A and B are shown apart, each in its own frame.
Chain A
């Protein structure tokens, strides 16, 4: 199983150059059954990353381009009158896919954004009183433009909390950028990728992640981190219990990817920026900077 994971990482790294850590986090998020938010300026490879992962994991992939006039029905689908049978028939929207890329999610209005909420949390959608199950595994990768850009509706905290992780891709290093500029088209590269992990295998892996051991010493550290965010004057409001659970789940997946069976503090630290950064929001968008005081001040024993 571990080999498959390593294979996925290796293939992905060949498409998206110099972003090993981000790719690893994205896969970690997937293994932890969480949704991923990628925040960055357009053109750094957000869509490519989502597309690559979908391809490598053999999942049904659908991209939804969010715009300011998109409606919930455009996302989850709508009932249309069928003239032949004289009845309304539900036409599933693009959300009915295993991997959904919600591109530029913060360009849409809050109404459209919230259409994703139930889907992400419950893995189901309800239309006109009828509840439809979404396919499993279900994974949303959303991208958003930095909020200072024109025409954005910032995601509310409740919506942000639905994403297990938020990562930034950032500009590539010069050497990789060179390769990118001289190499072949990324999209044609993606089409050459083959499935490394079937959805069933992925579900097995997700199950295995939940079995990773968490010792009480680690829980102490985890709680110390949570308490620190609640008491320290650096944060406006601390991490919620849900955020604590998310932190632990992500750390388990990280441990699992490292082929170990017990979480150590370093695993928590590795995922902390991605998991806690968007939940703490201390007026700064740089996740690493936001969690830096935690890493420096909360003692590991």
Chain B
């Protein structure tokens, strides 16, 4: 090319814009210092397109390099680990922008940009991000096409790049399925600082779940292999809170009584399901109450909560079996002590209430019913924005405010049980979930976080009671619906009109559809690790590494061969009947080893072959004349075509 593409304004604008697009999502992942540094360099380079004299001189570049290194060191203490490595590449990319001198520099920047684009996947693997990266890759390829085209047009370059990507898709699929997967050792990621994820905490102060009540963030999905439990049984067990100081509820510090626990007996039909957990900070797995079968490395602790020894910082999948009804058997001494612990002497008001509900003079089940009735009949309200209860929260709640959500009810319920000498504890977790009709799975969101109570009853073991259900039975039957859950109207929503309802239904359906796509993406693409690959491939009889590689090379080879043959022999089919007939003549001649060159006219061809096929020279001459007459002549006739055909049939070699 005549001019240096490194000084071509259009190319530079195109390249720099695409690089901006690539680094853009890193705004969520990188430290603002690194991102700001990059943006500064990019902006500088943009100015340099029009004012090249403003670009940094060598000493300034040196200074920039030093400052970039300083930022890297201050932020990450080096460039190891995911964040440090990504920052290094982003800073290097920004610095390289400052010295675009030759065509080679453009290519180098382009390749660097591909690496940065790939680094996005270290942070986010959603289908949207994949689509975005694919788009960005297309733009990067288009820049390469643009640099190498004589008549550069952005739209043409983008189109060509899209075609290239589309052509690469079959290859990518084959390699994705068959390429041997290696699990990255965990130490490779040692420098990661985890983004704090919201979730249930291991302690509870009524009010601490307020935030969760409204969050639409997905926690896990459940796909049932057979029957689906009714809404009333969908309690997903989390931490069990036994200890309290009157305000705050925490887990029991000592769970060593596990070895003394009675044997669990299960009843009813088991539910088999696959749990797909979103990334979590804790190692809790929210199984349906009560989990019976769970794969390694899951473990069930003394409070029947499932824990995993692995980190849950990636989406992970578990195959579980749970029984809706069970009997935990006898109570251990520790449990008995813990579950009756009171932070101090209960007040007169409390004692009076317990006595009034026959807490001291009747069997536990009577008292429980009395208490639930009390919640139902007295003026208790469910609200997500309860008044502040700093001193004696339980007493304030029971006698004064009477506005609260699940934690208030569960803690008050358990406290009153303990006052009546009945062993009880608070269980936290999730309840309900929304059924995705498109993908046939259940979605549990942070909004479904819940707290309920467990009471130990003789011959039944630990039994679940949900005092919140007493005031708001709707909550059990349906997913969270604030307008119904707030009888006091503290949060009021206008009743949706019919039209709005239709829109809402449509949106809901669309959301479910999307959620299903996302689920399958997780299930089949992101979670396609070495174990899943092995089990998937073994269903095709591909058992070991070697066969896998052979298969991959074989299929890639076949695709390459098909594509090359297609490209080699892709010729437009003639539509002119004269040409079709003439091509038969060419075929006949080709048998004698003589082929027409692409740029050779019929007459030239005839002259060439006549000397080789002397016996047929006259016929060849006739055929050629007839062909030229029909194809290029003034008056092509049907008869002439028939004559041409006849001559060609008669031609004997």
Contact = CB atoms under 8 A, between A and B. Distances in A.
A and B: bona fide binding partners: yes
Interface of A: 213, 215, 217-218, 233, 261-266, 269, 294-301
Nearest to B596: A300
Contacts of B343: none
Interface in B484-517: none
Nearest to B604: A266
Given A301-B574, A301-B579, A261 B634 contact: yes
Interface in B608-653: 628-629, 631-634, 636
Contacts of A298: 598-599
A295 B634 contact: no
Given A215-B631, A215-B632, A215-B633, A264 B599 contact: no
A265 B601 contact: yes
A261 B633 CA distance: 8
A296 B599 contact: yes
Contacts of A299: 598-599
Q: Kindly list the 8 A-B residue pairs having the minimum CB-CB distance in the complex, ordered from nearest.
A: A265-B601, A299-B598, A266-B601, A213-B634, A215-B632, A262-B633, A295-B599, A262-B632
Interface in B413-427: none
A213 B629 CA distance: 11
Contacts of A217: 576, 579, 631-632
**Most chain-B CB neighbours within 10 Å: which of A269, A296, A297, A301?**
A301
B597 A296 contact: yes
Given A262-B633, A262-B634, A300 B150 contact: no
A297 B599 contact: yes
Interface in B238-255: none
B600 interface: yes
A297 B600 CA distance: 9
25 contacts: A213-B633, A215-B631, A215-B632, A215-B634, A217-B576, A218-B632, A233-B150, A262-B628, A262-B629, A262-B632, A262-B633, A262-B634, A263-B632, A264-B603, A265-B632, A266-B603, A269-B599, A269-B601, A294-B599, A296-B597, A296-B598, A296-B599, A297-B599, A300-B598, A300-B601
A210 to B, nearest CB: 14
Report, as a range, how many residues of chain B touch the other chain: 10 to 19
Contacts of A263: 632
B602 interface: yes
B156 to A, nearest CB: 12
Contact of A297 (B150, B598, B601, B631): B598
Nearest to A299: B598
A299 to B, nearest CB: 4
A196 B602 CA distance: 34
A124 to B, nearest CB: 35
Contacts of B576: 217, 301
Contacts of B579: 217, 301
A213 to B, nearest CB: 4
A264 B598 contact: no
A291 to B, nearest CB: 10
A162 to B, nearest CB: 26
Contacts of A262: 628-629, 632-634
Contacts of A294: 599
A168 to B, nearest CB: 22
A298 B600 CA distance: 9
Interface in B569-597: 574, 576, 579, 597
A269 B632 CA distance: 15
**Most chain-B CB neighbours within 10 Å: which of A215, A263, A298?**
A215
A264 B600 CA distance: 11
Contacts of A295: 599
A282 to B, nearest CB: 12
A295 B629 CA distance: 22
A212 to B, nearest CB: 9
A131 B579 CA distance: 52
Contact of B602 (A213, A261, A264): A264
A300 B579 CA distance: 11
Contacts of B633: 213, 215, 262
Contacts of A215: 631-634, 636
B1 to A, nearest CB: 10
Nearest to B631: A217
Nearest to B572: A301
A243 B597 CA distance: 26
B225 to A, nearest CB: 59
Contacts of A261: 634
B631 A300 contact: no
Contacts of A266: 601, 603-604
B213 to A, nearest CB: 64
Contacts of A218: 632
A295 B597 CA distance: 10
Given A215-B631, A233-B150, A264-B632, 11 more contacts: A215-B632, A217-B576, A263-B632, A266-B601, A266-B603, A269-B601, A296-B597, A299-B598, A299-B599, A300-B599, A301-B579
Nearest to A215: B632
Contacts of B599: 269, 294-300
B325 to A, nearest CB: 76
A203 to B, nearest CB: 23
**Most chain-B CB neighbours within 10 Å: which of A233, A261, A264, A298?**
A264
Contacts of B574: 301
A37 to B, nearest CB: 26
B173 to A, nearest CB: 33
Contacts of A297: 598-599
A102 B600 CA distance: 37
Contacts of A264: 601-603, 628, 632
Interface string B134-173: 0000000000000000100000000000000000000000
A240 to B, nearest CB: 15
Contacts of B628: 262, 264
A266 B631 CA distance: 13
Interface in B534-593: 574, 576, 579
Nearest to B598: A299
Contacts of B150: 233
A225 B610 CA distance: 27
Contacts of B604: 266, 269
**Most chain-B CB neighbours within 10 Å: which of A213, A261, A266?**
A266
A276 to B, nearest CB: 14
A297 B599 CA distance: 6
A300 to B, nearest CB: 5
**Most chain-A CB neighbours within 10 Å: which of B597, B599, B601, B628?**
B599
B120 to A, nearest CB: 35
A262 B603 CA distance: 13
Interface string B112-125: 00000000000000
Nearest to A232: B150
Nearest to A292: B599
Nearest to B624: A264
Contacts of B601: 264-266, 269, 300
A299 B570 CA distance: 13
Contacts of B634: 213, 215, 261-262
A174 B633 CA distance: 41
Nearest to B628: A264
B635 to A, nearest CB: 9
B600 A300 contact: yes
Contacts of A265: 601-602, 632
A174 to B, nearest CB: 27
**Most chain-B CB neighbours within 10 Å: which of A218, A269, A297, A299?**
A299
